[in-house]
Amino acid sequence: MPQSTGRPDIPTVLIVTLLTGPVLAGLMGTILPAFGYLPVLGYHSISPEPLVALLRTPGLMASVALSFGTGLIASILSLAIVLIFTAGWSGTRTFERLTRFLSPLLSVPHAAAAIGLAFLIAPSGFLVRLVSPWATGFERPPDVLILNDPMGITMTLGLVAKEVPFLFLMTLAALNRPHIRDYYKAGASLGYGRMSTFFKLVLPQVYPLIRLPMLAVIAYATSVVDVAQILGPTTPAPLAPRLVAWMNDPDLTKRLMASAGALLQLLVSALALLVYLVLERLVSAWQAARFASGHRRRRDGFARLAGLLPMVLIVALMTASIGLLGIWTVAKSWWFPAALPQRWSFERMLDAFGVGGHALFATLAIAVLAAGIATALTLWLLEARSYRKLSARSRVNTIVFLPLLMPQISFLFGLQMLFLLGGLSGTFEAVLLAHLIFVFPYAYLALSDPWHRLDPRYAKAAASVGASRMRIFWQIQLPLLLRPVLVTFAVAAAVSVGQYLPTLMIGAGRIVTVTTESVALASGGNRQVAALYALLQLVIPLAGFILAALVPSLAFRNRAAMRLER
Amino acid sequence: MSATPAHAGLVLEGVSVRLDGAPLFKIDCHIPPGQILTIMGESGSGKSSLLDFVAGFLRPVFEATGRVILNGEDLTHVPAPERHIGLMFQSPLLFPHMSVLQNLLFAIPPAIKSRSERRQLALQALDDVGLAGFSDRDPATLSGGQQTRVALMRTLLAEPKALLLDEPFSSLDQNRRADVRDLVFRLARKNHLPVLLVTHDAEDGAAASGMTHYLNKEQGGGCSTFKQPRVVSGDQ
């Protein structure tokens, strides 16, 4: 096989361009209007006006504090819940059972989860209904601000419920490497308790693999729009949803202010990342100082229980939320305080299906294309890099994650302007490209580990009997990786379906998906229709994951070694 | 050797492990302190399952009967961290995020509180195996034999009451192997530890110069096969 020539290969160049191009161009497109330069709208001079206007906006600091606080707290809380649960229960039956629940929850889009949660915990929601009126005496919904509470507690809860499954699966993937079981044994045979062993021996080794996903969670949570619109405070709202409102304001000067705000958002998220990195340093230094103490902490029963409870609670909340979405779609009338609908109707669901058909079709088309392209590009990149024996860990990894480490809103504003200039705004292709920027990193995240874990001797064995590079890829590597490739496709499709802001901004109202529809409907009064659209968001990811599970089982039904291990 | 109480040592009493109802092996043995029982068997004969059972790691897919008794205490249902059974793996498995010294300090029981005393113990342990001056090294920069020696001292510093060896010499090259093996056996005897050695290398078994048991599902479980009939008895 040829050695690296130092010349970058085509897929690397292509993918780096695909990801950094729009991000950098979008950033420029945000920065210039932020300083008053937007020729299309007739603003030709550089001025600090938009920044000044931004800083004069009432409640700006409150919005900033909300974005920073809810995002950072939700992220750290999610990681803590995941790590404490994993520390206490990894390797037990309870762990395996909960894993089976958590994996499908990953595919639930943020907006759908938020809508389900709203239906569950609102003053007129299912939980209050369950205990009304017999226990509470409520004949009508109590007048308390559970949703949209000014502190953003509900929004934080919504983010935690959604980020926990993601970080959990990232942790599971990180733990899935050779010798990890032996390190558990080594800890136990030296007398260390289960949780001590995890935090002192296992976590320091796998944390580097959880780190980038965690940073992506922070960048996302501090700049989230859809969850904030559904569950977040409104007086004032966190920064990101306010920016979207300014962007859509008929007053065009608000657009310049929105761009300045998008820069501020970049700063807020960067600050949150920085604070996290400092905390990370402090915790790991504190931890390292305790290696030498020899404390075994064998009595960790209480801590283990404390780790189990939040996890069970989250799984229960999410499952109940999704179940509730299902009930609402077939409810004809469901007045407070009845725990279940008074009248059921499937016709309305079918009606809404007819109305929502085009949105579902658009969602499906974008998801399948984005996932297909992202998976193919990932395979091309991985194959080319391992053929040229380039190191797996390199700058490419960081570049791939770049779009996830920045607030989407900061460069989507600029990108929207550019597409507007190019006459591409609101086209299917532009939305597809915007999705691809966010879908590709997840596809790469899902597939690069299985690819590198594939025994390289298979390719060598094939090459030694004269197989060409093409044949090795199509007949050896791809079939061996069929399961992870399909899972990658399903993950990518789920990510695409979940994209709210890219569809909203680049689609310019002309490309409508079930996700943008459901967020728009969530604030309206019609719970049936909102629930239906939220449920439609689940259909595509679910179908993807079922296919990913079924196809390899059928294709390799007579191949024992191709079954899942365990 | 001083007279030891009759119940001293590691007793495997009627131990039998089954997978999906099919028996893997049976064993019934008493390993007195300072003695080595070598377990030999084909791959798949259940060597790892036996070690897992004794150390407390047997996965729930296996069904096991019998008891593990160490110095008269029934450990069968005691959680692994409380068994005080030291374990050495096929690879040295030094913790890669710690220095050599931190690896050793990690093992010293917390009852020894003074920092300087802990450090002294760890440095002494390194010195004992000819690795003085290696304390601040990254474990990854040590040779295989050096790593195994550090792993041995890490196991012993935790003050185990028995030692399980899971082919710990298999990763070493031929000429290092004998040295490290003799060191492990010598220290085990010096500490009066009952040792259970799993190997598929007959040379390891011969060097252990103790009892040998061939894991086998048909045969009865007794430690009947002796290379050298050298059972420790009460008479001196």
CATH number at residue A477: 1.10.3720.10
Q: Which residues of B touch A180 (CB under 8 A)?
A: none
| Preferred mutation among B52, B53, B57, B70 to probe A, highest tally of A CBs within 10 A | B57
What does the pLDDT read at residue B233?
41
A208 touches chain B (CB under 8 A): no
Sequence letter at residue A183: Y
Query: Does residue A363 sit within a domain?
Result: yes
Say whether A390 sits in a helix, a strand or coil.
Answer: coil
What does the pLDDT read at residue A300?
86
CA distance A349 to B164: 64
Contact B85 A189 (CB under 8 A): yes
Closest-CA distance of chain A to residue B148, Å: 14
- B13 forms beta bridges with B67
Nearest C-alpha neighbor of A440 from the set A493, A507, A484: A493
List, in sequence order, the alpha helices (H) in A454-477. 456-464, 469-471
Say whether B63 sits in a helix, a strand or coil.
Answer: strand
Sequence letter at residue B68: V
CA-CA distances (angstroms) from residue B88 to A93, A130, A540, B85, B162? 27, 56, 49, 10, 11
Under an 8 Å CB criterion, which residues of B touch A? 55-57, 60, 79-87, 89, 91, 93, 95-98, 102, 105-110, 112, 115, 118, 154-155, 158, 160, 164
CA distance A171 to A87: 11
Say whether B88 sits in a helix, a strand or coil.
Answer: strand
**Tokens linked to A299:** 């009595």
Per DSSP, chain A holds a count of helices (H) and strands (E) of 25, 2
What does the pLDDT read at residue A5?
53
The domain of A386 spans: 1-47+346-566
User: Would you tell me which residues 235-294 of chain A have a C-beta closer than 8 angstroms to some C-beta of chain B?
Assistant: 291-294
**Tokens linked to B176:** 């290092």
Nearest C-alpha neighbor of A414 from the set A272, A269, A268, A255: A255
What does the pLDDT read at residue B102?
93
Q: Is the dihedral of CA A71, A74, A77, A83 positive or negative?
A: negative
Nearest C-alpha neighbor of A504 from the set A399, A409, A368: A409
CA distance A160 to A154: 10
CA distance A30 to A517: 26
Q: How many CB atoms lie within 10 A of CB B234?
A: 7
Query: Does residue A25 sit within a domain?
Result: yes
pLDDT one-digit tens code per residue, A336-388: 888 888 888 887 777 777 777 889 999 999 999 999 999 999 999 999 888 88
Of B89, B118, B160, the CB nearest to A292: B118
Contact B85 A296 (CB under 8 A): no
**Tokens linked to A461:** 């064995």
Contact A179 B56 (CB under 8 A): no
- Chain A residue with Cα closest to B104: A292
pLDDT one-digit tens code per residue, A89-104: 998 888 988 888 887 8
CA distance A19 to A11: 12
Sequence letter at residue A514: V
DSSP letter for each residue of B104-137: HHHHS-TT---HHHHHHHHHHHHHHTT-TT-TTS
Contact B102 A292 (CB under 8 A): yes
| Preferred mutation among A93, A184, A190, A198 to probe B, highest tally of B CBs within 10 A | A190
Sequence letter at residue A500: Y
- Chain B residue with Cα closest to A298: B81
Of A189, A200, A298, the CB nearest to B86: A189
What does the pLDDT read at residue A273?
97
Q: Which residues of B touch A192 (CB under 8 A)?
A: 81
- Chain A residue with Cα closest to B151: A186
A93 touches chain B (CB under 8 A): yes
- Chain B residue with Cα closest to A186: B87
How far apart are the two ends of chain A, measured CA to CA in Å?
A: 35
Q: Which residue matches tokens 């699966």?
A: A169
Backbone angles phi, psi at B94, to 5 degrees: -70, 145
Average pLDDT for runs of 10 along chain A of length 566: 60 89 92 87 85 92 96 98 95 87 84 92 88 82 85 94 93 86 92 93 93 95 95 93 92 90 96 98 90 85 92 94 90 83 80 80 96 96 84 74 92 89 90 96 91 87 86 91 93 94 92 92 82 89 89 81 58
Contact B95 A183 (CB under 8 A): yes
Query: Does residue A415 sit within a domain?
Result: yes
| Preferred mutation among B51, B53, B84, B97 to probe A, highest tally of A CBs within 10 A | B97
Burial grade of A385 (CB within 10 A; 0-12, 13-18, 19 or more):
buried
What does the pLDDT read at residue B2?
46
Query: Does residue A59 sit within a domain?
Result: no
Burial grade of B214 (CB within 10 A; 0-12, 13-18, 19 or more):
middle
Q: In which element (H, E) is residue A376 found?
A: helix A347-387
- Each residue's pLDDT expressed in tens, for chain B with a length of 236 residues: 444 566 789 999 988 888 888 888 888 888 999 999 998 877 777 888 899 999 998 888 889 999 999 999 999 999 999 999 999 998 899 999 999 999 999 999 999 989 999 999 999 999 999 999 999 999 999 999 999 999 999 999 999 999 999 988 887 887 788 888 899 999 999 999 999 999 888 888 788 777 888 876 555 556 644 444 344 443 33
Three-state secondary structure string covering A508-562: CCCCCCHHHHHHHHHCCCCHHHHHHHHHHHHHHHHHHHHHHHHHHHHHCCCCHHH
Contact A296 B108 (CB under 8 A): no
Query: Does residue A418 sit within a domain?
Result: yes
Query: Does residue A459 sit within a domain?
Result: yes
Say whether A438 sits in a helix, a strand or coil.
Answer: helix
How far apart are the two ends of chain B, measured CA to CA in Å?
A: 8
B115-128 and B144-157 helices cross at what angle (nearest 10)?
140
CA distance B162 to B175: 27
> How many domains, in total, are found in chain A?
1
Contact B158 A191 (CB under 8 A): yes
- Contact call for residues A506 and A493 (beta carbons, < 8 A): no
What does the pLDDT read at residue B228?
42
Q: Which residues of A touch B107 (CB under 8 A)?
A: 190, 294
Contact A188 B81 (CB under 8 A): yes
The fold of the B10-93+162-214 domain, in CATH, is Rossmann fold (3.40.50)
CA distance B18 to B58: 11
What does the pLDDT read at residue B1?
42
Of A191, A194, A200, the CB nearest to B84: A191
A298 touches chain B (CB under 8 A): yes
Q: Would you say how long chain B is, in residues? A: 236
Nearest C-alpha neighbor of A371 from the set A168, A552, A540, A217: A540
What does the pLDDT read at residue B229?
39
Backbone angles phi, psi at B196, to 5 degrees: -115, 115
pLDDT one-digit tens code per residue, A143-197: 888 888 899 999 999 999 999 999 999 999 889 877 888 999 999 999 999 999 9
Q: Which residues of A touch B93 (CB under 8 A)?
A: 179, 182-183, 186
Domain positions in chain B: 10-93+162-214
Q: Which residues of A touch B57 (CB under 8 A)?
A: 185, 188
Q: Is the dihedral of CA A55, A59, A63, A68 positive or negative?
A: positive
Q: Which residues of B touch A194 (CB under 8 A)?
A: 81
Burial grade of A58 (CB within 10 A; 0-12, 13-18, 19 or more):
exposed
Closest-CA distance of chain A to residue B174, Å: 24
Q: Would you say how long chain A is, in residues? A: 566
Of B60, B98, B110, the CB nearest to A296: B110
Q: How many CB atoms lie within 10 A of CB A275?
A: 14
Q: Which residue matches tokens 């094939």?
A: A462
DSSP letter for each residue of A278-342: HHHHHHHHHHHHTGGG-------HHHHHHHHHHHHHHHHHHHHHHHHHHHHHTEEE--TT-SS-S
